[in-house]
Structure 1
Amino acid sequence: MAKEGPNWEGLLKWSLSHSDGTSPPRNLSEEDRKWFMEAMQAQTLDVVRRMKEITLVMQTPKEVLDAQGVTSADIEELLDELQEHVESIDMANDLHSIGGLVPLIGHLKNPEAGIRAKAADVVSTIVQNNPRSQQLVMEANGFEPLLSNFTSDPDMTARTKALGAISSLIRHNKLGIAAFRLANGYSALRDALTSDNVRFQRKALNLIHYLLHENNADFNVVSDLGFPHIMTHLASSDDADVREAALRGLLELSRDKASATSSSEDDEKLKRVLQERINDISSMSVDDLSAAREERQLVDSLWTACYNEPSSLRAKGLLVLPGEDDPAPAPDVAGKFFEPPLRAWAANRGADASTAEKKAAPLLLGPPSQSGSNTSTDANGQ
């Protein structure tokens, strides 16, 4: 008989009653402390066991999975579940310890585009703000298939997800940034900017801005590759996020005088684009102006940096609207009291039980061996 799981609803209520975010936590009784630690330990063991089961499926040869009726959609569902588990940094780091990181990286080369994309998504979650997992992925040669998918995958979603994973992998990671530069990553980013996929463009622009902000030595490289010209074109994109990201990149470049030299034709084009943005902003409704707050500030800052004078947005009173200086909303003081497993449980406590069984189904399918029988027992014992 499966062991009854911890009372997560009771645990959540207990956490809320002991921490309202306005006063220091009170001392716990020994009984409360013991109950809390047992509940958390049970959840940790359960997640690790589930990750081991998913790892077993990832390690199973494709022909065996096919013979057992496991589809690509089933694998994508398992990767979705794995991504939820590795949102916890501890679980992300444990994935390598239980042997799951290498087969996950192997799925970046899967013949199914959906699986390649989802595997990149999971890698992105694992390495985000996680130096230990960044190092583990680099040591497991995870950078190479990500770069290959980013530059040449025939599926645009897989390319975009790979770029997102690379962005997370090399952020605050000197070895990762060095590897990206050596692999001619900037040329790949230039190609991404010239694509017709706005999501791909946005991710590329955001990574470019980060790299320029962190590495002043790259300004000349970016300028030589023609990024200012491309960014100027994207500053008039129909997509607001692309426009803002392009303006942000141009503003970063404008702060480096050594690389700011450009032809008079490029200067005129930039001035024309900025004036067009000013005209469009001037004709916006109040609601649209509020939504375009960052773009207004970027246009004015870039105009000031390039032409040593404020833009006409200031004179028109459109740079700062009434009420925009109001204090920001209060921070989420309760969030810090909840670990990722509690957040995940709270978000899904109303889920249908049959859905959970459906997601676990692929784990019941495997090689008809003794180990497969053990896997089925583990899955049913959740």
Structure 2
Amino acid sequence: MDLLHPFSNNLKLVGLLLLLILHGSLSDKNVKNSLIIVDTVEVDDNTDAVVEDEDEQDLQDQEVFNPTHEWQVVKPGQAVPAGLHMRLNLQTGKNEAKLLDEKYDTGITRKVSKSSTDSGIYTKEELKEALAKFKEEQKPKNLETVEDLKQRFRPIDILKKEFSEMNINIETDFDIMTRIINRFNHSMSTLAEKLDALYELEYYVHQVDNAQDLHKLGGLQLLINSLNSTEPSLIEHSAFVVGSALASNPNVQIQAFEGGALQKLLVILATEQSVSVKKKALYALSSLLRQFPYAQHQFLKLGGLQVLKNLFREKNGEPLFVRIITLLYDLIMETLLLYEESNIDHIEEKMQQYSQISLMGTMTEQGWCPVIINLINLPENDAREKVLKLVSVLTTVCKDEFRANHNLNSILHSFQKEYEEFVSEEQKSGETDGYFSELLSLVHEVIDKLKP
């Protein structure tokens, strides 16, 4: 037993060493798996310790965010180009960005450069490229042929039928005017309903095609017939619609003349009616006569000038005076300007028609010269302007009567002095070609024409 005691002790020692070695190897393995490697910065003893953040290192290396079609983290301080998708990732708490998808593409691709900042301001080169691309996209395509348009767009009748099947009612101007005329002509319509219909109709007939449709629908003749009404308001509004339909519309002028409009309008102006009614009748008469020499010729034959002259005796008729003067001046200028033009269609035919009209000769025969002189002292400058224009063109036939009227001469010189003061005020304010300058020139023109 004594011999084995040292050996057993040795075995125990060997076993203990083996356990220690095995325990050490396992411990080393666990330690290696639990290590975290960190960068270290050596700090001088005389300075404070500074640990640079990873984002701050990246900012020095990269100033501009380079986007892709995948979401990327936008690091603090990076310049983000305009036109990107931006979001805040709620899981990480960081901002992310990516390029726009194709369906959101605006057609302008912006280059990211050092000059591009998060302010969204484009460089000059970027703007030039964007403008060039925009102009290229705006170039007109090949014009479609008539057949292509016919295939793409369906006739209005077919569209109306399809809308009708869908319980959708679509009305053209023609349909609306038809409904209005039927309401106006209905035997059960009250005066208020008729006046309301005329008010609506006047809105539509300013358009040339609508005015011609008015005749096709029989509405023009209805309105002309209503000029014989015993109801003043109906006469007034009917004349208003007729005048609007005739304005600068030769076809409708002819149709109205053939429908007896001229005679009916002269009757209104020659009989006892209110000034408001006569104003609308005079408006319709002016629309009928302008640029229509045959109607002007018939107007003179029917004594139209005498009818207009009698209106100057009208009590409170001042609103009519300027309208009459304006009409006469315009009719005279039509003839004078015709002889100065050489490129008018059918010039010879028109000159022959106007040669049958002796408007200024008829005015002198009927004593219009003193009537015009009495109007020159109207208080409003606009009215004076129109009278002075008519006096200027009538000096060829009324010169002797104008010169013999000493009152006219004194009035013209008073106008001259008055307008010279106004022109001086205009010039002081920097206005060289003002309204009063034109009036002063017109006064000088009349004075010069009346000189011996």
Q: TM-score under structure 1 normalisation?
A: 0.64
1 CA distance for matches of 2:226 and 2:358? 35
- Residue 210 of structure 1 pairs with residue 336 of structure 2: no
Change in 2 beyond 3 A, CA 1:25/1:235: farther
Structure 1 match to 2:417: 279
Secondary structure at the counterpart of residue 401 of structure 2:
coil
1:136-147, aligned counterparts within 5 Å?
136-147=255-266
Structure 2 match to 1:292: 436
1:1-382, aligned counterparts within 5 Å?
34=152, 46-61=172-187, 64-65=188-189, 70-72=190-192, 74-195=193-314, 196-213=316-333, 214=335, 217-254=358-395, 256=396, 258-262=397-401, 265-266=404-405, 268-284=406-422, 285-286=425-426, 290-307=434-451
Report which stretch shifted further, 277-286 or 101-110: 277-286
Secondary structure at the counterpart of residue 262 of structure 1:
helix
Q: What does the per-residue CA deviation read over 1:129-172, in whole Å, with 9 as the maximum and x for residues that have no partner?
A: 11110111111112221111122242111111111111110111
Change in 2 beyond 3 A, CA 1:26/1:80: farther
Query: What one-letter code is carried by the residue in structure 2 that aligns with 1:243?
Result: R
2 CA distance for matches of 1:82 and 1:24? 43
Checking the alignment, whether the CA contact within 8 Å between 1:198 and 1:242 is kept in structure 2 is no
Structure 2 match to 1:5: none
Give the greater-gyration-radius structure (CA).
Answer: 2
2 CA distance for matches of 1:141 and 1:121? 16
Q: What does the per-residue CA deviation read over 1:161-191, in whole Å, with 9 as the maximum and x for residues that have no partner?
A: 1111111101111221122101111112212
Query: What one-letter code is carried by the residue in structure 2 that aligns with 1:260?
Result: K
Greater helix proportion: 1
2 CA distance for matches of 1:24 and 1:139? 52
Checking the alignment, whether the CA contact within 8 Å between 1:206 and 1:245 is kept in structure 2 is yes
2 CA distance for matches of 1:108 and 1:71? 14
Checking the alignment, whether the CA contact within 8 Å between 1:244 and 1:294 is kept in structure 2 is no
Query: What one-letter code is carried by the residue in structure 2 that aligns with 1:206?
Result: T
Structure 2: unaligned runs, 5 residues or longer: 1-137, 161-168, 336-353
Q: TM-score under structure 2 normalisation?
A: 0.55
Change in 2 beyond 3 A, CA 1:85/1:119: same
Q: What is the alpha-carbon root mean square deviation over aligned residues?
A: 3.1
Report which stretch shifted further, 92-101 or 24-33: 24-33
Structure 1: unaligned runs, 5 residues or longer: 1-22, 309-382
Query: What one-letter code is carried by the residue in structure 2 that aligns with 1:202?
Result: V
Checking the alignment, whether the CA contact within 8 Å between 2:236 and 2:277 is kept in structure 1 is yes
1 CA distance for matches of 2:217 and 2:359? 39
Report which stretch shifted further, 121-130 or 105-114: 105-114
Secondary structure at the counterpart of residue 283 of structure 1:
helix
2 CA distance for matches of 1:158 and 1:111? 12
Name the structure, 1 or 2, with higher relative contact order (CA <8 Å, separation 6+). 1
